[in-house]
Amino acid sequence: MTKYGFLGLGIMGNAMATNLVRAGFEVTVWNRTPAKCTPLIELGAHPGSSPREVVADCDITFAMLSDPAAASEICFGPNGVLSGIGDGRGYVDMSTVDDTTARNIMQAVTERGGRFLEAPVSGTKKPAEDGTLIILAAGDETLYKDSVAAFDKMGKKHMYLGEVGQAARMKLVVNLVMGGMMVALCEGMALGLKGGLNGQQILEVLDAGALANPMFKGKGALLLQKEFHTSFPLKHMQKDLRLAIGLGDALGQPLHGTAATNETFIRARAEGHAEEDFSAVFEVIR
């Protein structure tokens, strides 16, 4: 039976690892803050003492970490992934990072005889809990095929996008669009409310036509209640916009609208909304 590891049990990692354990897979978990492992161990997961031990002991190890700095630290740091990888064992990093970080990790893992796949996800806390994420994978195709059984428990769709870096790019494109849509919704709502319109009716009109989408519907209702319970932390949305702008810079693609969106999210982060849901950007717009 394939042995799976899981590193990083935040909002997403916890839900994704839970689905693997519930599916009856053998899973070893590790998190920087050990207390977050407890519910998974109670469900039947094994405790891991370090990324090195997990990667050395498991056939395929998944990671779901906050940002490029965290993904690099877990890979290159003391008792990190690199000190345990080898012999064809797989490392699948599902964190949202930039393409350069993904390539650096891929190179180091493969130099030590491991296999590497980047596999960031589209979808938030609820799809992670429901096992309905969209998994964007690139890198070692044999590892992609070997990971499908686990992907099927975490997501409703998985795509193979070719060379490492392409999945990171796809993920940044998706979140660039999402960040811009959120700011557009918040500005439209703020303007409408100031103009004496009814917020529910604004959402009803948007939902009735070509602009209908699940995000406006779900987040729009919560905005009106000023309910920003964290599903996707605002600090991570701003990180993704920063990374998208860096990619635009590297590829010579101007991103005027995204730059303005990013400034709005930076302001929201600076004003104390970093840990709230990304929809809390409404607080600095209205």
Contact pick of 5, 6, 12, 186 for ligand NAP (by CB under 6 A): 12
Identify whether 3 is a catalytic site residue.
no
| CA atoms of 135 and 120, how far apart (whole Å) | 6
Q: Which position among 171, 219, 235, 239 bears the catalytic label?
A: 171
| CA atoms of 106 and 115, how far apart (whole Å) | 8
Residue numbers 64-103 binding ligand NAP by CB under 6 A: 64-67, 70, 73-74, 95-96
DSSP 7-52: E--SHHHHHHHHHHHHTT-EEEEE-SSGGGGHHHHHHTPEE-SSHH
Residue numbers 113-132 binding ligand NAP by CB under 6 A: 121, 124-125
Residue numbers 19-58 binding ligand NAP by CB under 6 A: 31-33, 36
118/202 with CB nearer ligand NAP? 118
| CA atoms of 262 and 247, how far apart (whole Å) | 14
**Collapsed DSSP state (helix, strand, coil) of residue 59:** coil
Residue numbers 227-286 binding ligand NAP by CB under 6 A: 231-233, 236
Q: Are 241 and 261 in contact (CB under 8 A)?
A: yes
When asked if residue 135 is in the footprint of ligand NAP (CB under 6 A), the reply is no
Contact pick of 4, 5, 6, 11 for ligand NAP (by CB under 6 A): 11
96/166 with CB nearer ligand NAP? 96
Query: Nearest 5°: phi and psi at 230?
Result: -75, 120
56/63 with CB nearer ligand NAP? 63
Residue nearest to ligand NAP (CB): 10
| CA atoms of 165 and 156, how far apart (whole Å) | 22
- What positions carry a catalytic annotation? 171
Q: What is the binding site for ligand NAP (CB under 6 A)?
A: 8-13, 31-33, 36, 64-67, 70, 73-74, 95-96, 121, 124-125, 231-233, 236
